[in-house]
């Protein structure tokens, strides 16, 4: 199973059980706030192997095992800044959650293939 920018899903027992069922490869980006939640201090943990990008994909990745501060866990102190970047349209190009595969995404249901009548804006979910 490959995930891109996934949050922590459960505790250590869950992560271990999932790892026995399937191989999990987590792709993460330095400025992605989603990979930082829920918090480690609340006993949540990521499952599988992390493939971490500190910048654009052309610069390469680093492989980490478990909650490693040399990968995405090392950016936990930047959570508020990263969340801000992802929350405002003017900063989307700086949001790590929209940078996977080097293509900036517009957000939920914002594809150019959607016509205006069917387009769902992020704020419409509130």
Longest CA pairwise span in the chain (Å): 45
pLDDT tens digits for 97-121?
Answer: 877 765 444 555 444 444 444 444 5
Q: Are 52 and 61 in contact (CB under 8 A)?
A: yes
Question: Which of helix, strand or coil describes residue 44?
Answer: coil
pLDDT tens digits for 1-12?
Answer: 999 999 999 999
Q: What is the pTM of this model?
A: 0.73
d(CA 81, CA 95): 9
Pairing assessment for the beta strands 62-65 and 49-53 based on DSSP bridges: antiparallel
Q: What mean pLDDT is predicted for residues 70-86?
A: 90
């Amino acid at each position: 199973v490959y995930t891109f920018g996934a949050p922590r899903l459960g505790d250590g027992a869950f992560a271990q059980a999932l790892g026995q069922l399937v191989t999990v490869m987590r792709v993460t980006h330095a400025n992605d706030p989603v990979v930082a939640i829920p918090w480690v201090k609340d006993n949540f943990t990521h499952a599988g192997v992390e493939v971490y990008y500190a910048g654009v994909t052309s610069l390469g990745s680093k492989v980490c095992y478990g909650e490693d501060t040399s990968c995405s866990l090392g950016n936990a102190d930047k959570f508020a800044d990263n969340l801000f970047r992802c929350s405002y349209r003017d900063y989307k190009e700086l949001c790590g959650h929209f940078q996977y595969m080097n293509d900036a995404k517009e957000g939920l249901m914002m594809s150019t293939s959607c016509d205006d009548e069917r387009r769902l804006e992020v704020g419409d979910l509130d």
